[in-house]
Amino acid sequence: MLMETLNIRNHGLNSSAKRYHRHAKTGKCATLILISIFVMSCKSTLLTNSTTVNVTDPNADESAKHLMLRIREIPKNGYAFGHQDATAYGMGWKNDGTSYRSDVAEVSGDFPAVYGFEIGHIELGHQQNLDSVDFDLMTRLIQKAHKSGGIISISWHPDNPVTNKSAWDPSPAVAEILEGGLMHPKYQAWVAKVADFMHGLKTQTGKPIPIVFRPFHEMNGSWFWWGRKSCTPKEFQLLWRQTYELLTNTYNVHNLLYCYSTDVVKNEKEYLKFYPGDNYVDILGIDLYHKNSTERYIELLKDNLSLLSKIGKFKNKPFAMTEGGLNMVPVEDWWTNVLDKSVANTGIAWALFWRNAWPNHYFGPFKGQKSSADFKKFKGLSHVLFLEDIKKIR
Ligand code: BMA
């Protein structure tokens, strides 16, 4: 009925009015097209593809899929620079919640692209992690790093669940916390606390913040209770899978990408010895510290990263140097001449350096530190990506 009335009215229009209407219609179309182009260009180009990306969690949040696409995109441009606890503290300062700074930014003029955080002691319900970083502050620092375009990686050094000593107590514990084990309920409650923390990582508008979660790292070493001398590969794999199932299926955490990272390895077989399976791992990592001579480290980086790259390509999974560095960086040109020369073009998505904790335990530069001038040079290399560069990969 309404349509008919409109049609009759339309028939009644004279030709100039009709022309005016035609123009108005074309104008409207053009405006709509322009608005769509503008909206599309504001929206991440990667985000529009995020339904097609493969991540292990079938119920992964859109944000986690988007993060996976960003990570896959990085090696086309170089590799990203990461720093552990970059904004939580640095040499001679601690974030009291009122400032936002980083030793790396003070030296180089830009913030890291990747932010490592640590949730050891979340399982105990503590207010602070094992390195005295307040968990509420950590949440805010994660929100800020995410908002500014950074990538967040979270490690977890849980206490030994059997002895209640630290993660570095290698007394056997894994068998006890697996399903059917006496301590399984205790472990389940621990994972519930991890889940609560992960659930709390939301943007201002309530969207989940995607995280690279890297639990039970360096398992091929023998210093942690989940290490090679404390459990069998089978037990480790079950621990990983059961933790994964608890987080995803039981506690509905869907903002995580799972990263498996070993310590330095001799060969592929050693890398894969504890590997829980392709369906439980999104990213392959390796922790490579400079502990012996420079020559030895250069060799180690080359060997281990080419091996990692081979496995990554075969499995079609992104890979990264998930921890590393030279304590106290006493080599003046370490960043450009030791590190970059060995890791550029290996295909790693990022390299993360450990925390600037104390005057004799730091892996990043700070103002006045011996390697700072070289770090500025390193920052200037077009294939080394800091926050301003990684922001553009979206
Ligand atoms: C280690 C050291 C420790 C710290 C732990 C977890 O490598 O830095 O002091 O407690 O990492 O961050």
Question: What spacing in Å lies between the alpha carbon of 157 and ligand 1's midpoint?
Answer: 9
Q: What mean pLDDT, rounded, does the chain reach?
A: 92
pLDDT the model gives residue 123: 98
Q: Is the pLDDT of residue 14 over 60?
A: no
Instruction: For tokens 């097609």, name the residue.
Output: 52
Ligand 1 center from residue 168 Cα (angstroms): 10
Query: What number does the ligand 1 atom closest to the CA of 157 have?
Result: 6
Query: Whole-model pTM?
Result: 0.90
- Which atom of ligand 1 lies closest to the CA of 84? 12
Q: Which pLDDT tens digit goes with each residue over 300-312?
A: 999 999 999 999 9
Q: Is the pLDDT of residue 33 over 80?
A: no
pLDDT in tens, 57-113: 999 999 999 999 999 999 999 999 999 999 999 999 999 999 999 999 999 999 999
Ligand 1 center–CA 83 separation, angstroms: 13
As a whole number, mean pLDDT of residues 18-45 equals 54
* Nearest-atom index, ligand 1, CA of 131: 10
pLDDT, residue 51, reads 64
For ligand 1, atom 4: residue with the closest CA: 131
Q: Look at residue 11 and tell me whether its pLDDT is greater than 70.
A: no
pLDDT-derived band at 18, boundaries 50, 70, 90: very low
Nearest residue CA, atom 3 of ligand 1?
131
What atom in ligand 1 is closest to the CA of residue 85?
A: 12
Asked if the model's pLDDT at residue 340 lies above 70, the reply is: yes
Secondary structure of the chain as H, E, C letters: CHHHHHHHHHHCCCHHHHHHHHHHHHHHHHHHHHHHHHHHHHCCCCHHHCCCCCCCCCCCCHHHHHHHHHHHHHHHCCEEEEEECCCCEECCEECCCCCCCCHHHHHHCCCCCEEEEECCCHHHCCCECCCCCEHHHHHHHHHHHHHCCCEEEEEECCCCCCCCCCCCCCCCCHHHHCCCCCCHHHHHHHHHHHHHHHHCCECCCCCECCEEEEECCCCCCCCCCCCCCCCCHHHHHHHHHHHHHHHHHHCCCCCEEEEEEEECCCCHHHHHCCCCCHHHCCEEEEEEECCCCHHHHHHHHHHHHHHHHHHHHHHCCCEEEEEEECCCCCCCCHHHHHHHHHHCCCCCCEEEECCCCECCECCCCCCCCCCHHHHHHHHHCCCEECHHHHCCCC
Distance 364 CA to ligand 1 centre (A): 14
Q: Taking the CB of residue 378, how many other CB atoms lie within 10 A of it?
A: 21
Mutation to probe ligand 1, out of 131, 154, 223, 288 (largest number of atoms < 8 A from CB): 131
Residue nearest to atom 7 of ligand 1 (CA): 354
Check residue 81 and give its pLDDT.
99
| pLDDT greater than 80 at residue 134 | yes
Q: How far is CA 130 from CA 117, 155, 333, 377, in A?
A: 11, 12, 32, 34
In this structure, the residue with its CA closest to atom 8 of ligand 1 is: 355
The mean per-residue pLDDT over the stretch 46-55 comes to 77
Residue 149 CA to residue 63 CA, distance in Å, equals 12
Pocket test for ligand 1, best of 130, 153, 290, 356 (most atoms within 8 A of CB): 130
Question: Per-residue confidence at 50, pLDDT binned at 50, 70, 90?
Answer: low
Question: pLDDT band at residue 26, thresholds of 50, 70 and 90?
Answer: low
**Ligand 1 pocket at CB < 6 A:** 118, 120, 130-131, 157, 354-355, 357
Q: Which atom of ligand 1 is nearest to the CA of 357?
A: 8
